[in-house]
């Protein structure tokens, strides 16, 4: 017997999306958005239809990182079409507010805005959606993890002890709500001097790998601190899109192949 038609408000979120991966970090500034973007681009490079959803509502960075300006179209006045560049679709609150306007919403308003964005965007069929989560492990992050049919989560951390401590909280949050943790990524693993090629382990290379082992989570890979990664992101041409054959792009591609 067919199930009765669900009311619009009860429709499952994102029915046309085959899998949803959340990219999270215990704290801000560790490179979560940079990782989400390059990971999404690497997945698209594998031939998948990819959407990138910027849930980092207090600091949306996707418009800049993907080099997209302008506002999403709404052909029927109800739904929004995602923006597109470098072969991926994207939606961000950053497309709907001016960059200099601070967002001062409280948690429930943030959840309302995120839910509305998730319901009202016509993504079309996607093989995979990458969600750039807000940093940290507060109520908003918990609600997203509970409300969305997440396939799994990856956690980005620098090798520093404090960042790892926060990453551990993130991992425990996902485990508490039964979202599989696909693994840890170490960002800003080490620094390669552009002049002499010397590797400097500024934040203590290898911390995330050791932590992953301790937490019985997979270690997905490491990405060094490199000016090219920052410059390409700032220019709206992330390294995986603009220099897909570079060693750093290869690092993201190797991680994408594992998720």
- Binding-site members are 26-33
Continuous segment of H or E residues that includes residue 1? none
Q: With respect to ligand ADP, which residue has the nearer C-beta, 78 or 100? A: 100
Q: Which parts of 104-236 fold into alpha helices (H)?
A: 107-120, 139-147, 161-176, 207-214, 227-234
Binding site for ligand ADP (CB under 6 A): 25, 28-34, 61, 135, 187-188, 223, 225-226, 229-230, 233
What is the Cα 242 distance to its own chain's centre? 19
Rounded Cα gap, residues 72 and 88, in angstroms: 14
Do the bridges between strand 199-200 and strand 181-192 make them parallel or antiparallel, or are there none, so unpaired? antiparallel
- Give least dist CB 15 to ligand ADP, A: 28
- Give least dist CB 32 to ligand ADP, A: 3
- Give least dist CB 124 to ligand ADP, A: 26
Q: With respect to ligand ADP, which residue has the nearer C-beta, 76 or 245? A: 245
Q: With respect to ligand ADP, which residue has the nearer C-beta, 31 or 221? A: 31
Residues 195, 218: contact at Cβ < 8 Å?
no
Q: With respect to ligand ADP, which residue has the nearer C-beta, 18 or 230? A: 230
Residues 44, 87: contact at Cβ < 8 Å?
yes
Residue ranges of the annotated binding site for ATP are 26-33
- Give least dist CB 242 to ligand ADP, A: 14
**Residue 220 phi, psi (nearest 5):** -90, -20
């Amino acid at each position: 017997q067919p199930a009765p038609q669900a009311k619009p408000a009860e429709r499952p979120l994102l029915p046309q999306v085959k899998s949803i991966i959340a990219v999270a970090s215990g704290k801000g500034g560790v490179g979560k958005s940079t990782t989400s973007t390059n990971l999404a681009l690497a997945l698209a490079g594998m031939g998948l239809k990819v959407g990138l959803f910027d849930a980092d509502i207090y600091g949306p960075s996707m418009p800049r990182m993907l080099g997209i300006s302008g506002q999403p179209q709404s052909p029927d006045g109800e739904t929004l079409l995602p923006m597109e560049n470098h072969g991926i679709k994207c939606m961000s609150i950053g497309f709907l507010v001016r960059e200099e306007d601070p967002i001062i919403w409280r948690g429930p308003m943030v959840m309302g805005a995120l839910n509305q964005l998730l319901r009202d965007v016509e993504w079309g069929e996607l093989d995979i959606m990458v969600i750039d989560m807000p940093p940290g492990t507060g109520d908003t992050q918990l609600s997203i993890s509970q409300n969305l049919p997440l396939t799994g989560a990856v956690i980005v951390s620098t090798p520093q002890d404090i960042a790892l401590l926060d990453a551990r909280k993130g991992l425990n949050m996902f485990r508490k709500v039964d979202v599989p943790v696909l693994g840890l990524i170490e960002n800003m693993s080490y620094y390669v001097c552009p002049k002499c090629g010397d590797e400097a382990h500024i934040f203590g290379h290898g911390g995330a790998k050791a932590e992953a082992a301790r937490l019985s989570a997979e270690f997905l890979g490491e990405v060094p601190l490199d000016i090219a990664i920052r410059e390409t992101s700032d220019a709206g041409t992330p390294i995986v899109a603009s220099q897909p054959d570079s060693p750093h792009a290869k690092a993201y591609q190797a991680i994408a192949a594992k998720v």
